[in-house]
Amino acid sequence: MIAYNNEWLRNLLIRNQADKAHETSCISKTEKEQVYNAYPVGFYTPNIFVRIGLFILTVIIVTFSLGLFSLLFMEHTEQLGILFVFFGLLVYAGLEMMVRNRHYKSGVDDALIWMAAGNIIGGLNATTTILPLVNALLIFAMALFLFLRFTGMVMAAIASLALLAVIFYSLVQLGPITKAIMPFVIMTASALMYFFVQQQLANKKWKQYASGLQSISVTALVCLYAAGNYYIVREASISMFNLSLQPGQDIPFGWLFWLFTVAIPVIYIVRGIQKKDAILLRVGLLLVAAVVFTVRFYYHLLPAEIVMVTGGVVFIGIAYALIKYLHEPKYGFTYKEQQHDSMLMDKLHAESLVIAQTFSGPSLPPDTGTQFGGGTGSGGGASSAY
């Protein structure tokens, strides 16, 4: 089912294990090289920067090819949508060809997956008007197929979102009762999806899909929360199901949704710590922000700046206490950085860029011009340097 060379994929997993073992200095460099030699991988997988470059360029090439293609055939057909679908199929053929040409996560295959799917779905929609339910089904089928064939994380997430959309749209048609229980249905579906995926993650058979399955877990956890979030339930009921509320009136079972809004992130975090599950823990921590925003949207308990200052102090305090506490590893937790996480961050000095981005320096009053004259001494230096 997977388009890439299966043996190489297996060998790649073994190589990754050897890399990790080498980074934690369990095995020596020569041992790592021996493992590398015993398990050859023939994929063309360049580093992240080349990958980004190839992605951008492939998108440019395909876009202008589509333009050229449309220009050539436009006179012969009224149906531009059909052209798009046909072009999408061509892109897919190109994708299969590139994959056979040893491209694996090279940026080229990443881009072609997107372009093929986008053209086919977009083209079908341009041809006729398609019901949301049918569209969701189409996207689900397409994303699931691309996930199974190319193991991508994003396609996995899209497939799981589309599946929830299918459930949503098919139940909406049935009447008022299903509308009323919709949040519970979506929550149950997300939970089932999460547990199903957790089961499959343990299965050796799906090793190649591990990253995709993890991305489905994240999607399922977020959707489970979103479906029970008070803000989302309330606003969705008003805008999609025409629920009319008098001022001061609450939605049915409002207290239950408030409970979900606050309790679910806590459950995620607690379970994440208990199971040492990074996904549960990180999703839980992110959702704490959602709790704060939801509560503040309906109850202006405190002015924003007070919340910010106390929040800041609390965050710094918690981080301070935990870093001190975990100075020596306790209960299997540590503050020490794991080596393989830091490689890419280090390369671009990501943290310093984030700081420059979020805290901009002092701003000048607008009436000042530039303080630099045109050609000072350093200006002369510039031209001579080249």
Partner 1 sequence: MDTILFEQLHSDGLISDGALDNVKTAGKSRLFSLHWELRTLLYLGVLLLSGGLGVLIYKNIDTIGHTAMLLFIAMVSAGGFIYCFKAKLPFSTGRVESPNAFFDYVLLLACLSFITFIGYLQYQYQFFGSRYGLVTFIPMLVLFFSAYYFDHLGILSLAITTLCAWAGITVTPTRILQDNDFNNNTIIVTGLVLGAGLITTGVLTRLRGIKAHFAFTYTNFGMHILFISVLAGMFQFVTIYFLWFFLLGGVAFYFYREAMRSKSFYMMLMLALYLYIGLSYIVIRLLFYTLHTDMGGVYLSFLYFIGTGVGLILFLIRMNKKIKAA
CB of 162 to partner 1, least distance (A): 30
The answer to whether residues 168 and 181 touch, using CB atoms and an 8 Å cutoff, is: no
Query: With respect to partner 1, which residue has the nearer C-beta, 252 or 379?
Result: 379
Query: With respect to partner 1, which residue has the nearer C-beta, 301 or 382?
Result: 382
The answer to whether residues 124 and 115 touch, using CB atoms and an 8 Å cutoff, is: no
Query: With respect to partner 1, which residue has the nearer C-beta, 192 or 353?
Result: 353
- The burial class, CB within 10 Å (0-12 / 13-18 / 19+), for 49 is exposed
Short-list 340, 385, 194, CA closest to 275: 194
CB of 66 to partner 1, least distance (A): 9
CB of 55 to partner 1, least distance (A): 10
Query: With respect to partner 1, which residue has the nearer C-beta, 263 or 304?
Result: 304
Query: With respect to partner 1, which residue has the nearer C-beta, 244 or 384?
Result: 384
Residues 258-279 as b/e (b if ≥16 CB within 10 A, e otherwise) read bebbeebbeebbeebeeeebeb
CB of 280 to partner 1, least distance (A): 12
Query: With respect to partner 1, which residue has the nearer C-beta, 58 or 261?
Result: 58
CB of 63 to partner 1, least distance (A): 8
DSSP string, 158-227: HHHHHHHHHHHHHHHTT-HHHHHTHHHHHHHHHHHHHHHHHHHHH-GGGGGGHHHHHHHHHHHHHHHHHH
Query: With respect to partner 1, which residue has the nearer C-beta, 29 or 129?
Result: 29
Give the residues across from 44 on adjacent strands: 103
The separation between CA 17 and the C-alpha centre of its own chain, rounded to angstroms, equals 24
CB of 154 to partner 1, least distance (A): 21
CB of 78 to partner 1, least distance (A): 20
Contacts with 16 (C-beta within 8 Å, 6 or more apart), sequence order: none
